[in-house]
């Protein structure tokens, strides 16, 4: 585990159709906000879905968790703080914090992704693919 913490902050504006009859964002839509955060992180740090695809990999989510602390309403603009969780496993792990305009934590979460080879037979990789090792080296997580 590296000392280095790599994170990225992006913004999301709540859509009207993401809110429910209680007037708040429907809980399942936070999974979409996590993906927004992860992809904003990925575009910034060069490890987005499209980057992975260039190397012949897809990284399906195998686990996601979400804890809700406060509601978000229509009209709010939230901040998504996405943090890469380093691990020696052949996995991509991210943690998320969603904050409202008053900087209060609305929701926290975590996702785990695995590496699937799209050029080959679609098999699951049990070791870290070279492109991901190279990426870790580039961002300072590996010497």
Considering only residues 6 to 45 of the shown chain, the ones binding a copy of itself according to CB under 8 A are: 15-17, 19-24, 26-29, 31-32, 35-36, 39
The owner of tokens 């993401």 is 18
Neighbours of 69 (CB within 10 A): 12
Considering only residues 66 to 125 of the shown chain, the ones binding a copy of itself according to CB under 8 A are: 66-68, 71, 74-75
Q: How far is CA 61 from CA 53, 99, 102, 115, in A?
A: 15, 23, 31, 9
Question: What is the number of residues in the chain?
Answer: 143
Task: Tell me: does residue 62 bind a copy of itself (CB under 8 A).
Answer: yes
Residue 28: CB minimum distance to a copy of itself, A: 3
Task: Tell me: does residue 134 bind a copy of itself (CB under 8 A).
Answer: no
Cβ atoms of 90 and 128 within 8 Å: the answer is yes
Burial of 22 (0-12, 13-18, 19+ CB in 10 A): exposed
Residue 24: CB minimum distance to a copy of itself, A: 8
Residue 71: CB minimum distance to a copy of itself, A: 8
Binding site for a copy of itself (CB under 8 A): 15-17, 19-24, 26-29, 31-32, 35-36, 39, 49-50, 58, 60-68, 71, 74-75
């Amino acid at each position: 585990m590296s000392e280095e913490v790599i994170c990225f902050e992006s913004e999301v504006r709540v859509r009207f159709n993401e809110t429910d009859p209680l007037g708040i964002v429907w809980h399942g839509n936070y999974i979409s906000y996590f993906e927004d955060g992860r992809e904003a992180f990925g575009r910034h740090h060069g490890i987005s879905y499209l980057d992975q695809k260039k190397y012949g990999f897809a990284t399906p989510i195998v686990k996601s968790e979400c804890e809700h602390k406060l509601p978000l309403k229509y009209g709010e603009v939230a901040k998504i703080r996405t943090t890469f969780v380093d691990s020696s496993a052949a996995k991509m792990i991210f943690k998320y914090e969603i904050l409202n305009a008053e900087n209060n934590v609305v929701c926290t979460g975590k996702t785990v992704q695995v590496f699937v080879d799209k050029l080959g037979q679609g098999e699951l990789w049990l070791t870290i693919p070279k492109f991901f090792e190279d990426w870790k080296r580039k961002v300072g997580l590996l010497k």
